[in-house]
Structure formats: C-alpha cells, structure tokens
Structure 1
Amino acid sequence: MDITVLLLSALLGFVSYVGANTDSNPCISANAKTCGECIQIGPQCVWCKDPDFKPSRCDDIESMAKAGCTADGVENPRGAVTIDKNKPVTNRKTDGGQNLRPDEITQIQPQKVKLNLRSGEAQKFTLKFKRAEDYPIDLYFLMDLSHSMLSNLENFKNLGTELANEMKDITKDLRIGFGSFFRKPSIQTNPCFPDNCIAPFSYFNVLSLTDDHALFTQEISKLKTSGNLDSSEAGLEALMQAAVCTDVIGWRNVTRLLVFFTDAGLRFSGDGKRGGIVRLNDGKCLLDDNMYTRSDYSDYPSLSQLVDTVTDNSIHTIFAVTEQYRDLYQELSAKVPNSAVGTLSTSGDNLAKLVIDALIPLSSEVIVENSKLPDGVSISYVSHCKNGVNGRGEDGRKCSNISIGDEVLFDIEITAKGCPSKGKPETIKIKPLGFSEEVEIFLNYICECECHKDGIKNSPECSGGQGTLECGVCRCNEGRSGRICECTQDLDAYCQMDMSSGICSNNGECVCGTCECKKRENPEERYSGRYCECNNFSCDRFNNKLCGGHGRCMCGQCACEFNYAGSACQCSMDTSSCLASNKLICNGHGICECGQCKCLDNCQGPTCEICLT
C-alpha cells in the first residue's frame, strides 16, 4: 500500500511538472522577427514597437503589459466585417406587388460583404434567404424525339396550357420553351421508315423561352418523331447546350427549370469512340441557327462537366423517364445538384402532374454553396431553419420544408490562416444552389501591422543604413542580417543544431552566426548551450519540486545529490527506514528501494517482518 501511494505521488508530481513547464506560448516559441510575422501566428499575439524594448517583442497582450510595453507601443490589428450592399429581401405586400421586374426581386441579403481577415480570427455575418412570392420561372423542355416517344409527343402538345393553369398558384410569370434531341449522326445502326425519317441530330432548340403559351402549343404541334429505330443517346449533349447557351435559350436571372423527357439511357465522355469521335467536349455553346453543329466533332460531355454546367448556370433539372430507366436516372440525379426524377407513364399523360410534383420538393429546400476557396481560407455554416431547426457542418448549409414567403438564416464564419495569396485581396461568392442571386465577398488579408507603413528606409539605426527601421526593429536589406543588420550575410544555418530544429532551438536569436539565448521572466531560469538547446527549468519534478528538491537541473536532466536517484531525484538511497527490529534490511526478506521495503518470500509489513509459514 505504501509503495502504491509513493508511485501515485511520483506520477502526480510528474504531471504537475509537465503542466508547469510546457512552453505553451506560441507567440514566443515561433520566434517572430517582424510585426507581420507575429500577428500571423494567431489572434492572441501582439507586437511591441517601443524602442529599446528588451523582452520578446511578440507575446500575448497580458504578458506584454507586464513586460512594460506601453499601450501606444502595442500593435494588435483586428479583423472586421463591412456590409457594402444590403438591399432587403422582397416583400410583395410592401414593395410594389405585381409591378416588380425580375431584376427588382431580392431573395438573399446582404449582397456584398467585405472582410478584413487576420490569421486565426474568424469573421462572421448572417445571410438571409427568403423565397419570394410569385417569383418568375423559366421552364425549358428537352424531349427525346426517337420513334418510341411518339405517344408522349401527342400528350406533350397540350402541356403548355396545362402547366400554365397548374402553376398559377406558384407564379404568374411563366415562360416556356422547347428543344429536342436524338443521337449523333455518325453513330447510327438502324434504317429509317420509308418517307418518314428525320435526319439524325444531337440537339435542336425548337422554341426559345417565351410567355406566349399559344405559340408554344403551335410549334409543338408541328413536330414529329424520327422514323429511325435507334434509341436516343444524345441527351447529355442536349442538356449541356440548353444550359450553357443562355442567350439563345433566353434564360433570365430567375428560377431556371429544365425538364428532360426520355425513354432511353445515356452516353458519357469516351462513348464517342464508337463513331471515331475522340475530341473532348469543350462545354461551350455551339449552336448555329439553333442546331448543335459539333456533334460529329466532339465527344459526349463527362458527368463532371454536366454537374459544373448546371450548377454554374443555376439550373434545376427534372428527369422525366420511363420506369425501365428510373434507377439509372436516380443514380445520375444523386450526382447532379438540384435535380429530381419523375416516372413517365407509358402514354405520357402525366406530364404536367410529374413536373409539378417534382418542382415542389426541389423548390422547398435551399442549399447554400460557395465558390472555390483560396488556400489557407476556411468557411463554416450554421443554419437557422423553420420551427427552430438548426444545423451545423454539412447540415449547416441547408434548410428544408421552405414554403413561399418563408425566411431562413445562415450564420457564416470565414477564417484565414497565415497570409493567403501573399496578401493579395480576393473575391469569393456564396449563393443558394439553383438560384442566380449571390453574395459577393471581398477578402482583405491583414498580413502587416500599421507601423509597417511608417518604416524608415536605410535607417541610421540599422548599421548606418543597412535596413529599414520598422515597428521598433530593423528589417535588413538583402545580403545583411543580424539584430541591427550588422552581419554581412545570412548566417542562420550556423545557429541550427540540424535541419529539423529551429534557429537557436526557438529559444534565442541568431546574431551573425552565434546564438544569443533569450531571457526568461524568472531570472533564475536560463537557456544555455551553443544552440540554446539546454535549460535549467524543464527537468522532471517530484512533489511539485524541480528534481524533487534534491538535485540540479542540467540541460533537461536532473543531477541528483548524494544518496538520491531517479529522473526527478525522488528516490532516497538511505536504507535506515528499511531496517527491521533485528537490524536486517527488510528482515532479510526483501529489497529496500527508495527507502521502502519491497517484500519477498510471502512476507509483508513495512520491514517484511510478518511472514507466512
């Protein structure tokens, strides 16, 4: 029992030593030589620019004040958030009702934000999103014109009128358009029916978006399917062109909905090799008189191209497909943001209902996304949705079950580490997925202190003009080094024990190739050694005493006094406490370790005098 207590005491003493002696001040340990380097360590670090200030110039604010830095001498720049454009979200009841143009409707707030970012200091703002009442919708249909879609085409001719009636509670500003697709002309295997064959084509824009629903019906009535027996395969080519050809299709900056009708599968990048087509699809708008002209020149698009294109152009996609291909398109929809799948009936008489049923869940969820972040910049989201539902992490990017007129909030935190992009300002954007509105965020990085601007070039204080006196220290000219630029070359390598260790072990300053160890707040504590690699205060402790009070700390190791041993000199070599009544050490039945008997031979007791026979 006594030995257990002794060991526990030693363990607690060691833990106490670790807590007391771990050099946990990153402001000092980073060995910053300039104010800019100091403030990039973290938001807790400040710099003292007072002339002749002797302690570490980079430290936390509390330690700096204790060390005697004046209040005016402390450089501690902070980040900030500035809202540059903050137009309120639209309220139809108070903002003009039906007289608003699409570009006058606002669904996100704010619109422009400027962030001044200091390393490690998060800047936060709140994004508000509101689904506007009666928000305009552009609805474009892409239909497979292979022969197997004949019955669907007949039902499709009345779709414009049906949808206008069905969607009147969602929006009164509905524009509709139509395009068709089939297959690459060079990849054709089956002949046409006599006198009833449309020449093979990949994609044709039949009617650009219009609010003339009668014209939509009129143009659709003129169409007929191909007599070719091949299945349609150019769907993704058509979808890419319909999404990227903004001006030709007539897309506005409103809700963009594309409905893709087919009873066939898909072809992706690489499948064009069957027709000898190997050139990659470039994803550009290549319509000539509404016809895609590069079908026999470029391969099918890749899935990643499709995802990027519909995302960049804020397209909501509905795949209306037959039961046979539903699983295939479900798998595709899982990869395409803001998309849904609906099952097309055999006759196609459920087209209008399918579109409405798919549109409702698509429009009831908002997901915010950001453009590519610069290296060294991170972002986090916290959502505040309906009915008190909050989300963090990936869930912090979205809110569900949003009805028209509902408002939701997203708390957004952006943090920089170090000095990204070498301090050059950058811009990122955040927007709700599938919407054209976005928040523009200007990032300014705080990489230098204000005193940097007041630097005196070629200052006499820096060895007669060999550097810039800046923030209380010399920033040396090229080819010079040292505290006051007194050295003719950079000799930092001579102050490193090896390539993996810091200059002067991060415990001193390299002056012309020689380490000058820094001072400790406690004058009894010192760094020493050629590379300041030793100290007299980081040895093991026992009973909260350095080297147990029975030794000297020498370069991290205890040098114990006579009759003491152990890493913390915690072990007494005196055996008098182990003498039994018969004057034998541990009664001859044990070993005396650190003044305590360790009994053997089934004996016990402080001096092993109780033995079982």
Structure 2
Amino acid sequence: MTSLWGQVFLWICLFTLIWGICQTEAANIDEICKHSDSCERCLSTHLECAWCTDKEFQAGYRCLSRSLLLQYNCSETDIYENQPVLDLLQDKPLKDYETSDQAVQVSPQRAYLKLVKGNTQRIKLSYRTARNNPLDLYVLMDLTWTMRDDKETLEELGAQLSQTLKNLTGNYRLGFGSFADKPTLPMILPQNKENPCALERAKCEPTYGYRHQLSLTDDIPAFTSAVANSKITGNLDNLEGGLDALMQVIVCPKEIGWKEQARKVVILVTDGFMHLAGDGLLAGIIERNDKQCHLNSAGEYTGSLEYDYPSLEEIYRELLRRKINVIFAVTKEVVSSYRELSALMKEISYVDILSADSSNILELIKKSYESLIKRTQFADNSPDFIDMVYYTDCGGQFPTLQKRNFCNNVSLGKKIYFYVDVTLKKYPDNKVYTHKIRVEETSLSEYMDLDVELQRPCPCQEIPNPEDEVGRFQCQNQGYMYCGMCNCDEGWTGTFCTCPKDGTNVTSNEALLQKCRQPLTEKTTSPLVCSNHGDCDCGNCLCDLGYTGPFCECRECIDCDEKLADCFCGQCVCKYGWSGTRCNCDGDTDACLGPTGEICSQRGNCDCGVCQCEEPFLGTFCEIDPEKDNKLCQFYEPCVTCLIEQKQGINTCDNLSDICSSLDRQEHFTYSFVHELDSEQDQCLVRVVNKHGIQCDSYFVYQVIDHSNFLTIQAVDCEPVDYVALFGFISGFTLLIGLLLIFLILWCIRAKDAREYAKFLKETEQSWVREENPIYRDPVGRYEVPKALSVKYDENPFAS
C-alpha cells in the first residue's frame, strides 16, 4: 500500500513539474509577443504569437499567445495566427523495376507546404536504388589513328559486353558513336584531307567531327556490327573534338534514343585530351556553340565547322539538366587531366584508366557503373527567399545526421533517408505567394514536387469603417481601428495615432519604430523595437519594469550603492577608490600585485584583494596558463638556475643577489633545497647544464606570503656515467645469470636421473623371478592343474 501511494506521489510531482515548465514557456512566449504593434510583426515574432482584430478587445496588448487572447475575451473568429501545413499528396512506396510498371526510387513524390515566415518545416525524403533499373549505355569512341587497336578489341568483346551488362541489370540498351576532330587547318593538313593517315603510310577515312553510328538498342549483334563497320580516321594535333561529340550526344535525345526513366550513361573512350571552348578560333571559327542538335539523317555532325567547341560549364549544365552521367575511360598518360575535369562535375562523372588496347573496358564499365549507382545526390530549384537544407546519416554511415545532400557507397537496395528543412526567409518582392519547387536526384529522373504556399502577412478580411465610433475612440479620434491596427488621419501617425507628423521625415509609424531600434553599426539597426523590452511611443521607448536605456537595452542595476558606484547599462561602475563587482571594496590592489609587478598578471581583475581570473587562467595571481608557461615559473627561473649552479660549484652567476630579489631590490628570495617536492603543488621545471656538460631537469615550487617569496628547490645531480663500473656491473650480472642457468640445468639432469633410477628399482621388484633380468621373458609356457575341480557344470565343462 505504501508503494502504491509512493507511485501516486511521484506521478503528481512529475505532472506538477511538467505543468510548471509549460506555464513558464507560455509566459516567456507572451513576453516575446506583446510588444509587436502590428499583425505582420506579431506573426513574424514567434510561431506561437497570434493577433487579435476584435474591436471590443480591451487588453493592453493585441499580440499574445492564442490561449491568452481567448482568456482575455478576444473572439476566436478574430484571431489571426500562424498555421504551417505539411500534407503528402502522393506517396507511392519504393519499388524495383518491373516490366509492366516503372520503378519508384524517391518517396514521397508530391507534397503540399504552407510556409510561415521564419518557421522551418521538415520533410522526410526516402531514396532507394531500384534493382534491374533500365540502363542506356552509349559508347562514344575516339577513332583517330592511335585508337585502331582499341576499336578491334571492342569489336571482339561484343558478346562478353552483353554478359557484363546483364550481370548489372537485365534491362539495358547499347548505342555507339565515334569522333575525331574538326576537319580543317590546323586540326588537319589540307593536303591530307582525304587521307589524314598518309603520314603513317596508311589509308583511312577522311576526318570528321562526330558520327552517330547506332541508336540505343537491345540488339547486341547490331552493336557489334556498328563497331566493326566504323572506320579509323586521323587528325594532326594530339587534342580531339570529344566535347563537340559529347554535346551532340547530350542534346540529341530523339536521335540517340534516350529513355526518360533509364539511367543514362555515356562512356567516352580516348587516349588524348580534348579541345576546349575558344580553340575554334585557331581555325577561324568564332560562333559560340549553340547547344542545339545538328545531326543529319546519316548521323553526321553538320555544325563542326560552324560552331566552336563547347565549354566545360556548358557540358556540365546540359548533363545535369538532362540527367546523363559520363564515364571517362582514358589512358594513364592523360588520366590526371581528366580527373581534374571530373572533379568539377563529380556528382555525374567518373574517371578510370583504360589499358593501351582497351582490353579492360568490360571491367571498367562494371566498376564505373557500380560506382555511379552507389552515389546519390539531391538538388532543388528553390527561389532565393526560401532556404532548403538537407540532413542525412547516409543509411547509418554516420552516428548522427550530417548537413549534406549526397551519400557515397550506398548499398544496392539500401534505403536512405534525407531530411529537408524548408524555411521562408522573407516574402517575395513580387508578392507571389504560390510556388512550385522540385527536389530531384541529380542523375535520375526521380523527384519530389513541392506545392508551396506562403502564408500571407495577415490576410485581413475586415471591411474598413472610418466612421465607427468605437474604432475611432481606440485610436484617440485621430484615426480608426482596422484589423486591430490604427489607420491614422492625415497629420497623425504612431501605434495609436498619438504622434503628430513633423518636418523630420517621420511621417509613418514604421519611421517612428525605426527610431526605437538600437543602432548596431553605421548602416544597420536591431530588428527589435525597444530591444523587445518596452513600447515605442512616438519614437521614444517606454521600458518595461527592470529595464532602462534609450532603447531599453539595459537591465537596471540591483546591487549598486549610489555612494560607491554609478549604474551604467546594468553594470556597477565603481567610483574612485572603490572596486569589486558591487563596488564595496576599497581601491587598494596591493594584495593582487604579484612578484612580476603586474596586478593579477594582467589576466584578471582585483576584487576586494582577490584576483578574479579571466578564462582560462588560474592561480593566486592568474599566472597559470593551461596552454602556455607559468608566468611566475618564468619569473623565478633565472634565480633558481643560479642557485642550482652555485650549489653544484659552477658559480657562473656574478649578480646572484640582484637576480634573486624582488623588483624593487629590497627583499631577497628565501630558498631551500629538498630531496622530494610535495606532489600536490604545481611544480616548475628548470633545466641546467652542469659542470660535466649534462643537461639536468630540476623542479621547484614557489609561495608568495605577504609579498615575501619562498622557493623550494629539488636539485638533481646528474653525474656522468661511470663506464668502468657499468661494465663491471654488466659483467657480474651476466656471470651470475650464467651460473644460475648452469645450476638449473644440472639440477634438471640430476632430477631426471633420479626418476629413471626409481623406475628401474620398481620394475625390478615386480619381476617374476627376482634373480632374472626384468626385461627377460621365458619362451616355455607353464600350466598348473587345479587341485580341486568344481562340480558345477557352468564352471567346469568336465563335471558329470
């Protein structure tokens, strides 16, 4: 029974505590809200602040918590409050790819958000890489002269390529294209235009910029045939037109055959670097790349001599926009350059080393594809007035949520959660309050659409009535009440229309409020009116009880004695001759004056004769710095060094009396040498080189009593090593160890012999014939007839 009442008492105490905390929090919210004098400022001050528009409302403040407004009889229909909303409009579960339906890799797919200014809404976004997701792989190959053996290798690996892709996903398609360079000087020699391989004493196809050979297809023999039918060409310089070709692969989705829901990958195979934007000027091509498709019916790039090479930035933007990943399969001679390029677009690119004859291309495709699907990253198109921040633990890779929008090394089939914090920072200047934001995976056509509505700043529906007597009375008959705020007549302004307009540009309530905001710098002011501790009355702050200052920025002083101190912004400023936090100590700082001649080592304040140290300093005189040397240790070190040298007979200090005395040279330090120091005291280290040239570490402690300095020194005599004695000791110790080992071995031998002899004696005693050798065995068998036979048949078979 006692236990039951104890539990009841415990629950009552817990309930009381929670109720008290809630009441305190509600009181704090009301304190924050009450000084807001307009509906918009009220709702922006705190999420729990609400505004009352009821004309009959008699309480002094219209901006309070909803519960307090209702308690003060504000009509519920006249209360405007913040109402953030989050609704999921489409939330299909994640699933793998199926032939009859598309995969779902992002959830939810659509949500509705109603944002309140300054408030943050959090959306939980789920992502999982779908198994068997469609893959569109386009092989873009450099077919200049040095790549002829690579082409042959790719042709031979056609069947194996099919099996490699089948192991990655059962739903794949292949495409093929080739590139060389712009067919003009200085990329080629005009005289070798028809046969750019003439310098190699071989015959090859005329140079072309880019040629689309095969659209994406699941017909593997067609891919092998396209590679086999492609022709080697050549160019003059060691740079290729790969960016020209890559741009056409990106911007010609119809010709290439990209599928919207597939993971789109281009593998660019080359052994050289590429021309960049601006290199076209060498050939007189000045037209900027227009990022449009220029493929004719034969798949030839017709803009090669018309448009300059694209820039890396243009390639990157188009890859992002069209959700295409690129794998650079390059030889080791140029891999470092391509890795620098890939670092600029790391979320959608991958680089690996291609062998000299491309024999490792299958392994490279497998490795790079797995790397791509193990990475996920999200981005959005939110406007500048809406802030979106991503947090994730990457499926348990981190112990806590990290501020990041991407994850690496994500296991296939592993569900990853992203938490997206959406915050309305300010209202848009164009006053458009509905927006659509897309949060999308950067390398897939997977996204979440957000229908965002911004809560309008106090959407008042009341019809204004300038002649309403009650409304005019509340505005001092110099304006009328509208939505809980006074609309002032001409010539008046202020919260309650009590302030006449003057010739100093103070013609609006906002201008008056600006005069009640504390300046922070020459150009900025605090956003708080009267520091949120008072009301603004015609440009002047009327402070709450306990606050003072022109902007109510200071607390009132409580413990200041007017005879001893002046109050300045909540702090007691002591008058001459007094000190301390309460200014009740006389101004004598002699007790805080350390041996160095500094008050509290210039690291604290002297409060009634005691040093109050600043962080992180310690000690009677704030001389101890946890991260640096002790100031007093450094001060005493010359004296202690001289005393140790004098004790050891070095006598190098001629001015010992000057060094070991106070700064005014009137008091000599008192010192003593001991064998051991008190371990509880803070010890100072001093290093002295003795007469033998050996550096010795000694320790000392100090005490300051009534400005008298006492030093206790533990001097260590570091004698040189006596090599003769050391050799003798080592020799003796070695001899002793050797004798012990010999004795131990002899003891073990004797013990073994004793055991063997004892065993021999025992076997001798147990032998059948005592005179025989114990290991002798008689070859003649002997049997003895029993003297009496048993008459029992079961014991004697011869019994009758």
The residue that corresponds to 2:406 in the other structure is: 397
**Alignment map for 1:377-456 (pairs within 5 Å):** 377-386=386-395, 389=398, 392-395=401-404, 397-403=406-412, 405-420=413-428, 422=431, 424-449=433-458, 452-456=459-463
Q: Deviations over 1:485-524 (max 9, x none)?
A: 686782555773888667985677667xx4464463x4xx
- Determine if contact 1:50/1:69 at 8 Å carries over to the other structure: no
Q: Distance between the aligned counterparts of 1:227 and 1:38, measured in 2?
A: 73
The residue that corresponds to 2:244 in the other structure is: 237
The residue that corresponds to 2:187 in the other structure is: 188
Partner of residue 173 from structure 2, selected from 172, 175, 193: 175
**Aligned partner of 1:341: which letter?**
V
Tell me if 1:202 matches 2:209. Answer: yes
Partner of residue 376 from structure 1, selected from 385, 396, 421: 385
Other structure's SS at 1:206 match: strand
**Aligned partner of 2:100: which letter?**
L
The 1:413–1:29 alpha-carbon spacing in structure 2 relative to 1, beyond 3 Å, is: closer
Q: Distance between the aligned counterparts of 1:478 and 1:220, measured in 2?
A: 84
The residue that corresponds to 1:358 in the other structure is: 368
The 1:407–1:515 alpha-carbon spacing in structure 2 relative to 1, beyond 3 Å, is: closer
**Aligned partner of 2:177: which letter?**
G
The residue that corresponds to 1:99 in the other structure is: 99
Other structure's SS at 1:172 match: coil
Partner of residue 555 from structure 2, selected from 538, 542, 554: 538
Other structure's SS at 1:169 match: helix
- Determine if contact 1:573/1:594 at 8 Å carries over to the other structure: no
**Aligned partner of 1:171: which letter?**
T
How many residue pairs end up in the alignment?
Answer: 539
Q: Distance between the aligned counterparts of 2:583 and 2:289, measured in 1?
A: 76
Other structure's SS at 1:347 match: coil
- Determine if contact 1:541/1:568 at 8 Å carries over to the other structure: no
The 1:279–1:39 alpha-carbon spacing in structure 2 relative to 1, beyond 3 Å, is: farther
The structural deviation recorded for 1:355 is: 0.9
With normalisation by structure 2, the TM-score equals 0.59
Q: Distance between the aligned counterparts of 1:223 and 1:212, measured in 2?
A: 17
**Aligned partner of 2:149: which letter?**
S
- Determine if contact 2:180/2:210 at 8 Å carries over to the other structure: yes
- Determine if contact 2:51/2:81 at 8 Å carries over to the other structure: yes
**Aligned partner of 1:455: which letter?**
E
In terms of Rg, which structure is larger? 2
**Alignment map for 1:582-601 (pairs within 5 Å):** none
The residue that corresponds to 1:76 in the other structure is: 81
The residue that corresponds to 1:4 in the other structure is: none
The residue that corresponds to 1:345 in the other structure is: 355
**Aligned partner of 2:357: which letter?**
S
Other structure's SS at 1:330 match: helix
Q: Distance between the aligned counterparts of 1:595 and 1:54, measured in 2?
A: 49
The residue that corresponds to 2:485 in the other structure is: 473
- Determine if contact 1:423/1:444 at 8 Å carries over to the other structure: no
The residue that corresponds to 2:264 in the other structure is: 256
The 1:560–1:122 alpha-carbon spacing in structure 2 relative to 1, beyond 3 Å, is: closer
**Aligned partner of 2:426: which letter?**
G
- Determine if contact 1:108/1:127 at 8 Å carries over to the other structure: yes
The residue that corresponds to 1:322 in the other structure is: 331
Q: Distance between the aligned counterparts of 2:73 and 2:153, measured in 1?
A: 82
Other structure's SS at 2:368 match: helix
The 1:479–1:112 alpha-carbon spacing in structure 2 relative to 1, beyond 3 Å, is: farther
**Aligned partner of 2:39: which letter?**
C
The residue that corresponds to 2:789 in the other structure is: none
Q: Distance between the aligned counterparts of 1:567 and 1:66, measured in 2?
A: 49
Partner of residue 343 from structure 2, selected from 306, 312, 334: 334
The residue that corresponds to 2:291 in the other structure is: 283
The residue that corresponds to 2:232 in the other structure is: 225
Q: Distance between the aligned counterparts of 1:78 and 1:281, measured in 2?
A: 50
The structural deviation recorded for 1:48 is: 3.6
Q: Deviations over 1:419-477 (max 9, x none)?
A: 3454522222222231111111222222424xx33232354356699988543113569
**Aligned partner of 1:282: which letter?**
D
Q: Distance between the aligned counterparts of 1:198 and 1:362, measured in 2?
A: 35
With normalisation by structure 1, the TM-score equals 0.75
Structure 1: unaligned runs, 5 residues or longer: 1-23, 93-97, 576-592, 604-609
The structural deviation recorded for 1:31 is: 6.1
Other structure's SS at 1:414 match: strand
How large is the RMSD of aligned CA atoms in angstroms? 4.3
The 1:390–1:311 alpha-carbon spacing in structure 2 relative to 1, beyond 3 Å, is: farther
- After TM superposition, the structure 1 stretch with the greater mean CA deviation from structure 2, 133-142 or 278-287, is 278-287
Larger RCO (alpha carbons 8 Å, 6+ apart): 1
The structural deviation recorded for 1:241 is: 1.9
Other structure's SS at 1:415 match: strand
* Percent identity for Structure 1 against Structure 2: 26
The residue that corresponds to 1:118 in the other structure is: 116
Tell me if 1:85 matches 2:90. Answer: yes
Q: Distance between the aligned counterparts of 2:570 and 2:424, measured in 1?
A: 40
Other structure's SS at 1:287 match: coil
The structural deviation recorded for 1:226 is: 0.7
- Determine if contact 2:49/2:64 at 8 Å carries over to the other structure: yes
Q: Distance between the aligned counterparts of 1:594 and 1:150, measured in 2?
A: 88
**Aligned partner of 1:49: which letter?**
T
Structure 2: unaligned runs, 5 residues or longer: 1-27, 589-605, 612-663, 668-705, 709-800
- After TM superposition, the structure 1 stretch with the greater mean CA deviation from structure 2, 81-90 or 467-476, is 467-476
